[in-house]
Structure 1
Amino acid sequence: MPTPDRPNSVLAIDDNVDSLALLVPILRNLGYETRAGTSAEMAMKAIKASPPDIILLDVVMPRMNGIDFCKKLKAMDEYRNIPIIFLSGRITPEDKVAAFSAGASDYIEKPYNSEEVAARIRVHLALESLRKEQALQAETLEKLLRDRLAADKHREDQTTMLVHDLRSPLQGIGSVLEIVESSIDAASDPDLPDMIQTAIENVKHIAGYTNDMLELSRIETGQMPVYKRSVEAQKIFRQAKEILNHNPILQFEPTDLVVEADMQLTTRVLANLCFNALKYAGNSKQIEIQAQADGDDQVLFTVRDHGPGIPINEHEKVFGRFYQLNKVRQQDASSTGLGLAFCKKAIEAQGGKIIAQNHPEQGAVFSFWLGRAG
C-alpha cells in the first residue's frame, strides 16, 4: 500500500531479459517502485518478501507459465487481491479468455507503449485502492454492528425512556402549530401555510413513531398484558373493517370459527397486515382476508394481496424493526417500519406464529395461527 513516503510498488516478471530491460525503465520513469524477475519462482520469493501493489506477468515462461502462476496466487488468500496484468507479444482471443479465467485484471501487448502501460496500471491501482477502502468500510460497519448489538438492550431502554418523555412536548408543539395555522395571514407570506402544514404533518409522524416504539417495547418486555378468551373470528374481522374505514378493496370472507385470542391485540395485528397490504397492492385489486381451520386446534388467518410480492431472501426480515421495502420508503413517508415487528410480537405473545410468503400466482400472503376455541 503506498504512503506519502513510498510510491506504489510494481513487480515485473518476464523470462525475456531484453523485454524487462525495456519495461523496467518505463515503470521507474512513471514513478513506481519497481522490482523484476525472470521466473515464477523468483516472483513468489519477491511477493512473500514484500507483496507488491500490482504485478506485470508474462504469459509464456519456463517451468510454470503465467496462467498457472496467476491461478496459484489467486488461490492464496493473502495475495489473491493483488491485480495482475499479463504481458504478451501476441495474445489470441483464447489467451485472453484463459487469462481472465485465471483471475487476471488486464493485459498489455508487446512492444510496450509507455502511455498504455501508464494508463492500465493507473486504472487497476485505483480500482484496488477503491476495493481496499470498501473492505475497510465494511469492516468498520461490521464492528459498529457488533458494538450496537452488544449495547442493544441498554440503547432500547434509553430510547423507550426518551420517546416516552417526548410524547407531551410533541402534543404541545402540535397544538401550538395548529393555533398558528388558524391565525396566520396567508397574504403576508403565501408559502407560510404550506410550511406550517408540513411542520404539523412531521410532528404527527414523529408522534406516531413514538407511540409505535413504546407499544413495541411494552409487548417485548411483557408490560402489555395479554387477555386471551374465546373470540369469534368474525368479530375480529368487523373491528378491523372499522379501523380501516370499511375500505371496499378489503374482502373479508365470512367465518364461524372461534379462537382463543386477545381481542384487541389480534384486531390490531389484522388491521396492520391489511394496511401493509394496501400499501403494496395499491387500489388496483382486492385483498382477501380469511380465517380457516387448520387441524382440530388451530385457526389460520391469512391476508393476501396482489402486489409485487416479497423478495424470497427477505421473508424472515419483514418482521424486523424498521423493515421497509424501497418502494414504501419512497412513497410512504409515514411508515415507521415497526408495524410488522409489532404483529410478530403480538402473535407470539398469544402463543401463535406468523409468517410471510409469496402466493404462487401473484402477491404476498401473511399468515398467522392462533389456538382454536373448544
Structure 2
Amino acid sequence: MNDNPIDDYKANILVVDDTVANLRLLVNLLAERGYKVRPASNGSMALSAARTEPPDLILLDILMPNMDGYEVCEHLKADEHTREIPVIFISAVSEVLDKVKAFAIGGVDYITKPFQVEEVLARVETHLAIRNLQRNLKDKNEELGKTLQQLKTTQFQLIESEKMAALGNLVAGVAHEINTPIGISVTAASVLAEDTTDFSNIYQSGKMKRADLETFLDTARESSRMILANLKRAADLVQSFKQVAVDQSSESQRCFYLKEYLEEIILSLIGNLKKTKHTIKITGDANLTLNSYPGALSQIVTNLVMNSLIHAYAEEEAGQIQLDFQREGEQLILQYSDDGQGIKPENISQIFDPFFTTNRSQGNTGLGLHIVYNLITQKLRGTIQCESQVGRGTKFTLKLPITQR
C-alpha cells in the first residue's frame, strides 16, 4: 500500500491566473487527467508556492494585477531553485511582440485564450516529457560523472601499486567500451535539440498542426529512451571496470559470482585483446559463487592471458583461449588453456621460477607466472599445474577453495 498519495500523481503542476473561472477550469481539467494541480490567483502566491514546493510545470497568465506574468517568470528564472521549471504562458494577449517577450524571458510555450482543451493537454504532456528527459539526463550525467571521478581516484591508487601495471589497459578498455553508448546518446540528444528548434519555429510561424505536436512528442519519447538506455549501459560498464580496478588494488575478501567476474576481468583487457584476432570463451555455472579475494584472482587471470598473448601466438595469428570451471566438493577447479605454440618440455619445470623467460630480448621480466604461482599457493591456498605440448597449446589447472578461511 502506498502511504504517500502524492506519488500516484503523474506530475505536479502550478496554475496561475487571477480569473477564478479560468483557474477553476484549468485545475479541474488537469486534475481529471491525473495531475496534482495547485492554484495561485496572483504572482506573489505563485512565487511562494513554486519556492516552497517546486512544481514540474507552471501554467502562467500574463495580465494580472500588481505583478504580471512576465515579472513572475523573471523572478522564477532568477532563482536557482526554480529556474529550471518550464513555464507555459496562457494569455488572451495574442500580439507577436508579446509572444516574443514571453519566449525571451524563459517561457517554453505560449497558448492563446480562448484555448482548446486538447491543445492544452498536448502541450502540457509534451513539456512534461521534455522536463523528465532533462531531469533524467542530468541525473545520469551526474551519476556517470561521479563514477568516472571514482574511477580516476581508483586509478591513482592503483598506479602506486606494482600489482597494477596493467592500468593502462584498463583505461583503454573503458574508453573503447563506453565510446559507442555515449556516441549514441550524443546523437539522440542532438536530434532532440534540432527537432525542438524546428518545433519552436513552426509554433512561432502560426502554422502548427496537431500532427506537429504528435511528431515532436514521439521524437522526445524515443530520444529519451535511447539516451537513458545508452547512458545506463555506459555507467554499468564503468562500474564493472571500477570494480575490477578496486579489487586489484585491495586485499579485501568478498563473495562474488565467478563467471560474471571472469567476464569483467576479460572486459578490462580489451585494450590488449582488440589488437589481436584471438577469442576468449568462458564456460561454467553462472550461479557459482566464491568467497575469496577477487583482486588476487584478477591478477592471476590477467597474467595468464597476457602470458598467452606474448608467448603463445605469432603475430596476426587467430587463437582460442578457454576458461572452464566447475565445483568439486569445497574446491573450485579452474582450467585456463590456449591453443598456441606450447612450451618446450625442458622449460616446463622452470616456468614458475622468478625471472625465467624465453622472451627477455623483448623486455619481458619473467615475473608474470611467478606472481601467479605465489598468489595461488600463498594468498588463495590453492595449487596450479601446467600441461603443454609444442604446437598444441598450454593448459593451467587451478584448484582453489570455494571459501577462504
TM-score, reference length from structure 2: 0.41
TM-score, reference length from structure 1: 0.44
Q: Which of these two proteins has the greater Rg computed from alpha carbons?
A: 1
